A and B are shown apart, each in its own frame.
Chain A
Amino acid sequence: SQKIEQNSEALNIQEGKTATLTCNYTNYSPAYLQWYRQDPGRGPVFLLLIRENEKEKRKERLKVTFDTTLKQSLFHITASQPADSATYLCVMDSSYKLIFGSGTRLLVRP
């Protein structure tokens, strides 16, 4: 079955550094990948969407890449801030369904 995996260990970085989160998928070739931010007890909030024919997408301090050969997406936050601390979810589409990764928690130390 289709599967999407994110590093379950928290990523702990210093303020100002670049955070890089990884998302790997198996048994499927999604046409799109989405990234969301989720704060504790709250609903996910959309950040970026990237199509399979796009290698890279940027939005302010955020950058997403999509490597269909490696079956991987990387999510980068440059010049990270403590306010960026949250859980980040990778999502792929599969025939009108959405499959979510379990998320990677990011902690940015001041």
Chain B
Amino acid sequence: EAQVTQNPRYLITVTGKKLTVTCSQNMNHEYMSWYRQDPGLGLRQIYYSMNVEVTDKGDVPEGYKVSRKEKRNFPLILESPSPNQTSLYFCASSPEFDPGYNEQFFGPGTRLTVL
């Protein structure tokens, strides 16, 4: 089944404890991205990647890191999480490097709470 998977789905952690949220797609998509969703603010793009080893900042990259060593995986790293990073996170992928004219396929989401 063609899909985007994220793990974990739920995570409660404490301030400063490094964590990684994994994202994987099995559709051989070029473009992958991470979003956070907060009430009243909608989805905001954190980082995106147009291909392997090519990543760039979205609108809210502070406090996050990403890497794209393989085409299928795009992990999101929080080196030192803080309470303001409590949010619902979505990973997405699309077939080609330009997302504008391509359908985005979203993962099921990761609900992160930082205490």
Q: Which residues of A contact B (CB under 8 A)?
A: 8, 30-32, 34, 36, 41-46, 49, 51, 89, 91, 93, 96-103
Contact = CB atoms under 8 A, between A and B. Distances in A.
B42 A97 contact: no
Given A89-B43, A98-B45, A45 B106 contact: yes
Contacts of B58: 97
A42 B108 contact: yes
Contacts of A42: 108-109
Contact of A44 (B40, B99, B101, B106): B106
Contacts of A98: 33, 45, 99-100, 104
By secondary structure, the A interface counts as: strand
A43 B48 CA distance: 17
Given A51-B101, A102-B41, A102-B42, A97 B48 contact: yes
A20 to B, nearest CB: 20
A49 B101 contact: yes
Interface string B3-46: 01000000000000000000000000000010100001111110
